[in-house]
Amino acid sequence: FYAFRNIKNEVVSNKVLFKNNDILLPLFDLSEDRLIYYWNEIVKFKPRWLHGPSSTIYNLALTAKQNNLTQYHFELVELTGEFVKEEHYKTIKEVFGGYVVNQYGCREYWPMAFSDFEGNLEAQTDNIFFEEIYNEKYNTNELLITTLKNDAWPLVRYRIGDFGSLKFIGEKVTVNLKSGRTADFFSMAGGKYFNAIVFSGVSRAICEIYGYNVILQYQFVKEAQDLLVGYVKLNLQCNKKEVMLRFSKELNRIFGDAIRIKLVESDYICPDSKTGKTRDFKNNCDSGGDKNRT
């Protein structure tokens, strides 16, 4: 799965691509009709290995199962980056067969733990320090990490939102997760279903084309089933009108004519009070937000 590719100064973000012996599937549009299309392309291509975010792979597996699509099994399915619910793991295993492993990670420190042959998440302790602290609000242990490969300042403790415990098995340290982070999905008019990574993917692609960070901050808010409002802070050195038009054009190519995209230039976007990060996406339309399909 991929977020975007820049080909001859054009952002490619919502097409099935082929490169040597790889098939690259888009991460953005996970509507049922698109997932069926992706699955049919997989069956024709016959890959041996599937690699991508667990929530995306789960939605692909669920769509194949619910629509009785042509069966196809992989030798290896590698899940990356996210907490995997037990029922999601079982569905992925049932539909895709083969060996299913988890490569668990986070934005601050990509892979944090890998599945061993017994299915335990083995912590990568060479470059990362794990610790447990008791979270009084949720009455359970929370995991913190510190990246040891940062030579400039390796003392920052990241509270990444994972709950669980550490277990020592011989020389190994394993991570037992009770809950953790998953991708943010949302629905729009026309039965469309999107991954919120669309916004970071397109903004990074545009910055890559210009060769520097023309987009400094952004936050998109779903205000209605057919309306997304994007608040954007731009670099003072860029051609603001040109960048905003490019941003709007690329998003419209993904969301289609049925969805209105309104971009508003902002001087500053306040970070989330809990995490200290600026959230990519907020949902002011649906109570509770959108979750993975169940």
For 206-235, the DSSP string reads: HHHHHTS-SEEEEEEEEEETTEEEEEEEE-
Predicted pLDDT at 292: 47
Query: Is the distance from CB of 28 to CB of 46 less than 8 angstroms?
Result: no
145: Cβ contacts below 8 Å, ≥ 6 apart:
106, 108, 109, 112, 128, 129, 130, 131, 157, 158, 160
Predicted pLDDT at 289: 45
Measure the CA–CA gap between 229 and 247, rounded to whole angstroms: 12
Taking the CA atoms of 50, 177, 148 and 160 in sequence, report the sign of the dihedral they define: positive
Q: Report the interhelical angle of 54-66 vs 86-96 (nearest 10°).
A: 60
* pTM attached to this predicted model: 0.81
Predicted pLDDT at 107: 74
Measure the CA–CA gap between 252 and 227, rounded to whole angstroms: 12
Predicted pLDDT at 291: 47
94 by Cβ neighbours in 10 Å (0-12 / 13-18 / 19+) ranks as: exposed
Q: Is 70 helix (H, G, I), strand (E, B) or coil?
A: coil
- R_g (Cα) of the chain, nearest Å: 20
Distance of alpha carbon 83 from the chain centroid: 11
Helices (H), the chain: 32-45, 54-66, 86-96, 197-210, 240-255
The most distant pair of C-alpha atoms in the chain lies apart, rounded to whole Å, by 60
Predicted pLDDT at 116: 84
User: Two tokens at 152?
Assistant: 């400039």
Predicted pLDDT at 275: 67
Predicted pLDDT at 109: 76
Predicted pLDDT at 246: 94
- pLDDT tens string, the chain, 294 residues long: the values are 888 887 777 788 778 999 889 999 988 888 999 999 999 999 999 999 999 999 999 999 999 999 999 999 999 999 988 888 889 999 999 999 889 999 888 877 778 899 888 888 999 888 889 999 999 988 999 999 888 877 777 678 888 889 999 998 888 899 998 888 888 889 998 888 898 889 998 999 999 999 999 999 999 999 999 999 999 999 999 999 999 999 999 999 889 888 999 999 999 998 877 767 788 899 988 644 444 443
Query: Is the distance from CB of 13 to CB of 250 less than 8 angstroms?
Result: yes
